[in-house]
Amino acid sequence: MSRVRHFFTDLWKSASDLRFYQEVAALPFGAAFRHLLTVAGVFGTILAVIAVVQLIFLNHFWLWCRDNLPPMTIRDGEAHAEVAQPHLVERRIGDKANFAVIIDTTGKTERVDPRYSGGVLIKRRAIVFKLGETSIERDFGGVRNLSIDRNYFSGLMFGYKRIALYVAGLYGALVLVLFSQAAAAALIGKVVSLLRGSRRSFRAILQMSFYALSLAVCVLFLVLFVGIGLHLKYTLALYVFIHLAFLICAVLTSGGDEIAA
C-alpha cells in the first residue's frame, strides 16, 4: 500500500512541481525505470480486467451461437443453409429479446429489425452486423469454402490459458510501447537541452521522460474513463502534448550535468 501511495505522490509531484524532475534526473536508472514499470502495471491491470471481461462475454456469445445457430456453409462467396428462410434466432435476456441472428439467402430481408439493439443478418453474398444505429456490411467475396458449425464456434472461444497468454502479452507490449514513447520524447528533450546550451545527459532526460509520460498516461485514462467526449485524435494529441510539454519545461528549468562553455 505504501508503494502505491508513493507512486501517486510521484504523479502529483510530476504535475505540480517542475523541480521534482531534477530529483528524478539524479535517481539511479533502475529506480526511474521501476516507476515506468509501475505505470505499466497499474494501467495494464485496468486494461487487462477490461479485456478479460470482454473475452468472457465473447465466449458466452460464441457458446450461444454454437448451441442455437443451424450449420451453414459459404462456397465461392455465397452462403447456404438447410433451413426454411428467413430463419430468425433471438437471444433473450429474461423476457426481452435484444439480439437476433437472421439467415436469409433469398433476398427478402434487407436489415435487422430496429426493435433489436444488435443483430447479424446473413445474406447470400454478405453479412450485416448491427449495433445500435450502426450497421456494417461485409461481403463473402474472398471466402471459397467455409463450414460454420459447432466446431467452428468452439474454435473461436478463448480458453483460460489463451486468456492468460493474452494478458501477459498485454503487459509486455505496454512496457515496450511506453519505453519507446519515453525514449522518442527524450530525443526531443536532448535537442532542447543542447539548444539551451547545457549538456544534460540523455539518460537523465530519459528518466524525466518516464515521469512526464506517467502523468500523460494518467490524464489519458481519466479522459477515456470519465467519458469526456473528445474525438480520438484530439485525445491522443492531448496525451502527446502533456508528455512533451512537461518534459520540455523540466529540461528548460533544470540545470545540466555540465553547462556548456
Summarised one tens digit per residue, pLDDT across range 104-148 is 988 888 888 888 888 888 898 898 888 887 888 888 888 888 888
Cβ atoms 128, 137 nearer than 8 A: yes
Check whether 255 has a pLDDT greater than 50: yes
- Say if 86 falls within a structural domain: yes
Q: Give SS3 for 19.
A: coil
Single out the residue in 148, 181, 206 at which a domain terminates: 148
- Per-residue confidence (pLDDT) for residue 191, from 0 to 100: 93
- Say if 260 falls within a structural domain: no
Cell digits for 13? 509531484
Task: Mention every residue, 6+ apart, whose C-beta is less than 8 A from residue 261.
Answer: none
- Residue numbers of the domain that contains 116: 72-148
What pTM was estimated for this model as a whole? Answer: 0.73
- Say if 196 falls within a structural domain: yes
- Say if 57 falls within a structural domain: no
Distance between CA 89 and CA 116 in Å, rounded?
12
Q: CB 28: neighbour CB atoms within 10 A? A: 9
225-238 confidence digits (pLDDT tens): 877 777 888 889 99
Single out the residue in 81, 116, 148 at which a domain terminates: 148
Percentage, residues of the chain above pLDDT 90 = 34
The closest of 67, 61, 55, 65 to 122, measured between CA atoms, is: 65
